[in-house]
């Protein structure tokens, strides 16, 4: 199938591609699990802000911002704990669309964004699925109050990994005076 995009800007082409992708990835006959009030981003408002976890030599960061009603934008990245250099980065988006919520990831090894539909939410757990994707097919966020969450990234066969995020530590600014400045003050 060839899609004509005469006169469309890059953003419009991306929106058209995403709409076609979502229609193909989530056929009308596919029944979602009982999602209660999971048709908006309101239950995910707690996710806004910066989160961090570390695993040995790597620090993983996830950050979310509400940019408009019905849209959160964010990113996930892995950084070297030693140098701070970013070793992997993905752009993320949560959107309300047609009465549903989608998690959309743009990663370096895919030419197009990968959509995951919110299929279940209850008890602080939010499950996004795309059965047509190679890996992962499921991304689940589980809030663990007061200020933590676990993200589980997996396939239908159960293979995958999880990360336990918390708010990054707040560091106080360095207000100490240099030793020679302290001596100058003492001499006065």
Could you report the per-residue pLDDT of 48-80, keeping only the tens digit for each?
999 999 988 999 999 999 999 999 999 999 999
CATH number of 97's domain = 2.40.128.20
For residue 4, tell me if it sits in a domain: no
**Residue 17's pLDDT band (cuts 50, 70, 90):** very low
Structure tokens at 1: 């199938």
Q: What percent of the chain has pLDDT above 70?
A: 72
Residues forming a β-bridge with 163: 151
Instruction: Specify if 3 maps to a domain.
Output: no
Of 117, 161, 152, 114, give the one whose Cα is nearest residue 133: 114
**Both structure tokens of 12:** 């419009």
| Residue 11, pLDDT above cutoff 70 | no
pLDDT(3) > 60: no
178 inside domain: no
Write out the residue range of the structural domain in which residue 162 sits.
Answer: 36-167
Query: Within a domain: residue 73?
Result: yes
Domain count, the chain: 1
Torsion, CA 12, CA 13, CA 15, CA 19, rounded to 10: 140
101 inside domain: yes
- Collapsing DSSP to helix, strand or coil, 27 comes out as coil
Q: What's the CA gap between 165 and 122, in Å, rounded? A: 19
Residue at 14 is within a domain? no
Note whether 85 and 79 are within 8 A (CB). Answer: yes
Question: From CA 176, how far away is CA 164, in angstroms rounded?
Answer: 34
Arithmetic mean of pLDDT over the chain? 81
Residue 17 lies in a domain: no
Q: Quick check: is 25 in a domain?
A: no
List the structure tokens of 45: 């408002």
**Residue 93 pLDDT > 60:** yes
């Amino acid at each position: 199938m060839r899609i004509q995009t005469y006169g469309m800007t890059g953003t419009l082409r991306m929106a058209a591609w995403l709409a076609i992708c979502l229609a193909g990835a989530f056929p009308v006959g596919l029944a979602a699990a009982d999602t209660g009030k999971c048709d908006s981003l309101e239950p995910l408002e707690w996710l806004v802000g910066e989160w961090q976890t570390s695993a040995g030599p790597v620090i993983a960061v996830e950050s979310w911002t509400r940019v408009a009603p019905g849209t959160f934008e964010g990113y996930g990245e892995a950084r070297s704990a030693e140098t701070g250099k970013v070793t992997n980065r993905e752009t993320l988006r949560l959107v309300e669309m047609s009465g549903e919520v989608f998690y959309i990831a743009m990663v370096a090894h895919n030419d197009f964004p990968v959509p995951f539909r919110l299929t279940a939410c209850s008890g602080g757990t939010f499950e996004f699925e795309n059965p047509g994707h190679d890996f992962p097919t499921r991304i689940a966020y589980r809030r663990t109050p007061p200020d933590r969450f676990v993200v589980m990234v997996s396939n239908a066969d159960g293979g995958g990994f999880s990360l336990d995020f918390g708010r990054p530590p707040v560091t106080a600014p360095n207000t100490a005076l240099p030793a020679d400045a302290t001596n100058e003050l003492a001499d006065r």
